[in-house]
Amino acid sequence: MHKVYITDPLSDQGIEKLLQADDIEVIRRYDLTPNQLLEEIADADALLVRSQTQVTEQVIAQAPRLKVIARAGVGVDNIDIPAATQKGVIVVNAPDGNTISTAEHTFAMLLSLSRNIPQAYHSILQGKWNRKAFVGIELKSKTLSIIGLGRIGAELAKRAKAFRMEVMAYDPYLTKERAEELGVKKASFDEAIRYADYITVHTPLTKETKHFINADTFQNMKQNVRILNCARGGIIDETALYEAIKAGKVAGAALDVFEDEPPIQNPLLELPQVIATPHLGASTIEAQENVAIDVSEEVIRILRNQPFKNAVNLPSVPAELQQKLQPYQELAEKLGSFLAQITPGAPTKITFTYAGEITALDIAPLTRTILKGLLSHSLASVNDVNAPHLAQQRGIQLIEQKTSHTHGFTQIIHVEMETSRGSHRIAGTLINGFGARITKIDDYSVDVTPRGNLLYIRHQDIPGAIGKVGMFLGQQGVNIATMQVGRLTLGGQAIMVLRMDRPLTAAILNEFTQIPNFEEVIEITL
């Protein structure tokens, strides 16, 4: 009999399948102190929580039978993921359960922002009757730009179309076919922000999306644009938004999330053009039941050794195989991450090719790790377990193959990614005593250590190019640790890959791109 502990309140409807399972005993213990939780957890096979219970390393260590920790929601900040992974405990969440709830809340905020509903209500409570002060605008024929057309963005698009809005969408993984299916216009990021009357963000918060909407993007927007964020605080630069509203560029903003929550003394809340709610996107009865149902089903599958999909950490790998694969894991993720950072466009096909000694092993875990490195630059909560599922959702074709052609190495990994804007290739190996190396970028042979702050430069092979780079970075006080160059023909296309002692600022990088004959300059963080 499996023992499943639930330590935060979940509805009976949400955990009905757990309660009805013949091989599962459900034990509910709420409002436990940390010490009480340690006492209770000792014989647990599974633990279901929401945001209140703190699942620390100590808690995980106290539960030797624990196989799975399930978070009835999206965020897993209250769970020590590394500790769970180290102990072989699977952590799952419920990324789909709040889709409708968040889409509906966003549309409610859009309507409220358009018709000044919160401000008018507050005025009524003060005994006023000032109709002229709250004249709004209609949604019909207005352009809504959705930044991030995932599950929530797609549901929002359907609702906006019903109100006869024109809908544009920017998403690096959006295909032309998917856009046509939803009846939206596929747009570049610049187009999406330039022509919109309303802009709503629905991306995860990652290094790449932090302050995705900033002072520069506000300058490129329409006058009197309206901004919405019901996704994650930090996607919009709140200081820049405040200044844009004060300057009259932005007519209003509707915010359900903030960089710091609760938003104590946030100047945005002092502006009459801003409406806000306390992170209510997923706060509906149905959403709370749905996330409980989702994680309950995942727990049942894992306890019964059945396939599952919403893990946020590594799957269990046999110790013997893990030992053999471990030297390749870092190389695999770095190859994927590097390739993602130099390849623009939405991926349509990824080919993984393995050669040499490595072909004797089960390479599936390495493919998942490469894919995780590739997708993590655009998606949140990507891991070795769910990376193939996320790729499948987006229609990305995955090809895994082995070959005997090692090109002089004892083992080598090739990855090619085709996108809507072209393709790039990368290859890497392990060198005994020296570790991971990138050996090829497209057709250029290199010897790059995939670590730290790198600079990838594509340029014309002309005299003085290397000197220009050294002189420019020296003037900026940036030290070059290593440099690799590659060319195919004299005077033709060439590349440089530099490893620097520190990252470049946006200003330095922008100035770098102005140097003549430097066709592409990309900063890469590994």
Amino acid identity, residue 81?
A: I
Active site residue 164: no
Per DSSP (E only), the strands in 155-290 are 166-170, 185-186, 198-201, 225-229, 250-255, 274-276
**Which residues sit opposite 462 in a β-bridge?**
none
Do 526 and 334 touch, CB atoms closer than 8 A?
yes
What dihedral do alpha carbons 453, 459, 464, 467 form, nearest 10°? -10
What residue type is assigned to position 259 of the chain?
E
Instruction: Return d(Cα 310, Cα 159) in angstroms, integer.
Output: 27
Integer-rounded Cα radius of gyration of the chain: 26
Q: Is 436 helix (H, G, I), strand (E, B) or coil?
A: strand
DSSP string, 317-360: --HHHHHHHHHHHHHHHHHHHHHHHH--S-EEEEEEEEEEGGGG
Assess contact for 117 and 127: CB atoms under 8 A: no
| DSSP codes, 256-281 | S--SSSS-TT-GGGG-TTEEE-SS-T
**From CA 147, how far away is CA 213, in angstroms rounded?**
10
Rounded CA-CA distance 226/203 in Å is 18
CB 248 within 8 Å of CB 219: no
* Catalytic annotation, pick one of 279, 394, 414, 499: 279
Which residue out of 2, 71, 105, 232 is catalytically annotated? 232
- Residues 193, 145 contacting (CB under 8 angstroms): yes
For residue 104 the two structure tokens come to 């509906």
Instruction: Reply yes or no on whether 40 is catalytic.
Output: no
CB 429 within 8 A of CB 408: no
**Residue type (1 letter), 323:** Q
Is 279 tagged catalytic?
yes
Neighbour tally for 492: CB within 10 Å: 9
- DSSP bridge pairs for 497: 456, 484
Catalytic residue among 261, 286, 519, 520: 261
CA–CA gap between residue 21 and residue 40 (Å, rounded): 22
Burial of 510 (0-12, 13-18, 19+ CB in 10 A): exposed
Residues assigned a catalytic role: 232, 261, 279
